[in-house]
Amino acid sequence: MGIIEFLFGKKPKIHFDKSGSVRHDLKPEQWQAWKDRFAKNPDFNWKNHTGKVGKGKRN
């Protein structure tokens, strides 16, 4: 890691091209792992979110 990366951070893996579209430098495996994390793990599923009410106190 160089001093520039230390001071200003790494180059983002997601950026905009000249036409304004989003481009990414992520591998397809990384995208699939991200999708699987949210789809297969109930702890990360937003549909199971209880808000301020705890898991055991839901009606």
* Residues found in the chain: 59
Tokens in use for 16? 């905009």
pLDDT tens for 5-52 read 778 887 777 778 888 888 777 788 988 998 888 888 877 777 777 777
Has this prediction a pTM greater than 0.75? no
What is the predicted pLDDT for the residue at 39?
Answer: 80
Confidence (pLDDT) at 42: 79
Please tell me the predicted confidence (pLDDT) of residue 58: 54
C-alpha torsion 48→44→31→36, nearest 10: -70
**pLDDT for position 59:** 52
Question: Is pLDDT of 2 > 70?
Answer: yes
22-52 residues labelled b (16+ CB within 10 A) or e (exposed): eeeeeeeeeeeeeeeeeeeeeeeeeeeeeee
